[in-house]
Chains A and B, each alone.
Chain A
Amino acid sequence: MSMERCWHGRDVISILDFDRECLETLFNLTLVMEKYSRSRLNILEDKVLALAFFEPSTRTRLSFETAMKRLGGMTIGFTGEEAISVSKGESIADTVRMLDSYADAIVIRHSLEGVAKYAAEIANNPVINAGDGTQNHPTQAMLDLYTIWRELGEIDGICIGILGDLKYARTVKSLIEGLTLFKPSKIYLISPPALRPRKEVLAVLDKAGLKYEHVENIEEVIRELDVLYVVRIQKERFPDVVEYERVKGSYRITVDTLKNAKDTLIILHPLPRVDEIDPQVDNTKYARYFKQAAYGVPLRMALLTLIFGREDKVK
Chain B
Amino acid sequence: MEKELIIRKIRDGIVIDHIPAGRALTVLKLLGITGKEGLRVALVMNVESRKLGLKDIIKIEGRELSKDELSIIALVAPTATINIIRNYEVVQKFKVEIPDVIEGALKCINSKCITNKPREPIKTRFITISKDPLMIKCDYCGTVYTAQDIENMLLRSRE
Contacts and interface: CB of A to CB of B under 8 A. Distances in A.
Interface in A62-102: 89, 91-93
A113 B114 contact: yes
Contacts of B120: 91-93, 118
A44 to B, nearest CB: 30
Contacts of A118: 114, 120, 122, 140
Interface in B104-159: 110, 112-115, 117, 119-122, 137-144
The A interface is mostly helix, strand or loop, or mixed, namely: mixed
Interface residues of A, number: 19
B141 A89 contact: no
Contact of B112 (A91, A112, A117, A199): A112
B158 to A, nearest CB: 24
B137 A91 contact: no
A269 B82 CA distance: 55
A147 interface: no
A135 interface: yes
B89 to A, nearest CB: 43
A201 to B, nearest CB: 9
A111 B142 CA distance: 15
A133 interface: yes
B119 to A, nearest CB: 5
Contacts, number: 51
Residue among B114, B115, B122, B144 facing the most chain A CB atoms (10 A cut-off):
B114
A115 interface: yes
A93 B121 contact: yes
Contacts of A200: 137, 142-144
Nearest to B129: A203
Contacts of B115: 114
A114 B144 contact: no
Interface in A162-211: 199-200, 203
Given A92-B120, A93-B121, A133 B137 contact: no
Nearest to A114: B140
Interface string A107-123: 00011111101100000
B121 A114 contact: no
B91 to A, nearest CB: 38
Contact of B139 (A110, A117, A203): A117
A28 to B, nearest CB: 30
A213 B46 CA distance: 47
A133 B115 CA distance: 13
Q: Which 9 A-B pairs have the closest CB atoms?
A: A114-B140, A113-B141, A114-B114, A114-B141, A200-B144, A112-B114, A118-B114, A115-B114, A133-B112
Given A113-B112, A132-B114, A200-B143, 13 more contacts: A89-B119, A91-B119, A92-B120, A112-B113, A112-B117, A113-B110, A113-B113, A114-B141, A118-B114, A133-B112, A133-B141, A199-B144, A200-B144
26 contacts: A91-B119, A91-B121, A92-B114, A92-B120, A111-B112, A113-B110, A113-B113, A113-B140, A113-B141, A113-B142, A114-B114, A114-B115, A114-B138, A114-B141, A114-B142, A117-B114, A117-B139, A118-B114, A118-B120, A132-B114, A133-B141, A134-B112, A135-B141, A199-B144, A200-B137, A200-B143
Interface of A: 89, 91-93, 110-115, 117-118, 132-135, 199-200, 203
